[in-house]
Amino acid sequence: MFLEAPTEKLQFVADCVLRLSDYYISRPDAETPWNEKFCQVAYRHYFLPLNFIRNQKVIQRGLDVGFFNGLTNFIDWGCGPATASLALAHTEGLNSQIRQQILFDHSPTVLRVFSDLHEKLTKPQPLTQINLNTTAHSASSCLVFSYSLTELDELPTGWNQHEALMILEPSTTQDGRRLMEWRKQLLKNGYHIWAPCTHHDDCPLLIHSQNDWCHDRAHVDPPEWFLQLEQLLPMKNRTVTVSYILARKTPPAAELKSKARLTGDSLEQKGKTRQLVCRNSQREFLTWMHRTLTPQTLSRGELVDLPEDLEIKSNELRLKAALSI
């Protein structure tokens, strides 16, 4: 969601974005300085729109597998400007089933500064204190962590009282791999992973690599004012990435286990095209041999049905015919 063009001059907005970016780089473990004007401006006109797109991508992945079925109450933990809640409330087909959106943040400033956005939500309830044990609604509550777990050493008390968890983290090596470790804790507490995983085996990127991490990619189609803003910045965002987990106590449909998810971009190599794919604990590549097949262009993060007649060579799953998409 790209909000209306800023009333401030774009150069001022760009200066605020750079200042907040430098703040995060120099103080990666520090709390967001919500009391500062530069932070408020940078978030509203730059970080919020981009994070909204990331949330939209994750929500769509959930809709594709029926993750949100029956969920009516959403608790946005460490909500900041309520980006995740805005994305949920503006998703067609999902917004009509939402009964309440609880916004929790320790900072009363961020709840006040972005209070105008709360009018776009469904029965919003801003809170600076919360008991997750008492906010659970049996089979209908979803606890949302949108870029908030990265600031925690452990999950907050009462997290496992909720039916569903929607977790988004920065798609960096450190945060992405840390999220894979959180996945282990969810499984130990009886949760089922609905996305991105189609299995409950060990994460292949975690056990077979020291650097890889699981993340998805979303395309950005910005308005003219945002493109003008980016001209004043060293960062360009035609695509954005996100690491995420969608988990529920209720298991997903059985047919999800028969699918695989593309966890990498296409890699052109001599005589073949490979794309990292995940279906179990093995690090495998879906492979198109150029001598027999024309490579397909498939997006990172998509679910695919693998044919039974795959030719398996080392870590390659070689296709004999084009995939049906």
**Segments making up each domain of the chain, as ranges:** 10-252, 260-318
Shortest CA distance to 241 belongs to which of 215, 278, 267?
A: 215
What digits encode the pLDDT tens for the residues 147-197? 998 878 889 999 999 999 999 999 888 889 999 999 999 999 999 999 999
Q: According to the model, what pLDDT value does residue 186 have?
A: 96
Distance CA 100, CA 54 (A): 22
Residue with tokens 């797109």: 53
pLDDT band at 86 (very low <50, low <70, confident <90, very high): very high
Distance CA 65, CA 144 (A): 18
Instruction: Give the residue with greater pLDDT, 4 vs 65.
Output: 65
Average pLDDT over every residue of 212-234: 94
Q: According to the model, what pLDDT value does residue 90 have?
A: 95
Distance from first CA to last CA of the chain, Å, rounded? 28
Residue 211 scores a pLDDT above 90: no
Q: According to the model, what pLDDT value does residue 150 have?
A: 82
Average pLDDT over every residue of 216-226: 94
Contacts of residues 88-96 at CB distance under 8 Å and 24 or more positions apart, as own/partner, are: 88/55, 88/59, 88/144, 89/120, 89/121, 89/122, 90/1, 90/120, 91/56, 91/59, 91/60, 91/63, 93/63, 94/59, 94/63, 94/68, 95/122
What digits encode the pLDDT tens for the residues 286-305? 999 999 999 999 999 999 99
Q: According to the model, what pLDDT value does residue 212 have?
A: 87
Residue 8 scores a pLDDT above 70: yes
Query: How many whole angstroms from its chain centre is CA 92?
Result: 18
Q: 10-252: which CATH number, 3.40.50.150, 3.20.20.70, 1.20.1250.20, 3.40.50.10860?
A: 3.40.50.150
pLDDT band at 1 (very low <50, low <70, confident <90, very high): low
Global pTM reads 0.94
Work out the number of other CB atoms within 10 angstroms of the CB of residue 184: 12
Residue 29 scores a pLDDT above 90: no
Question: Quick one: what percent of the chain has pLDDT higher than 90?
Answer: 84
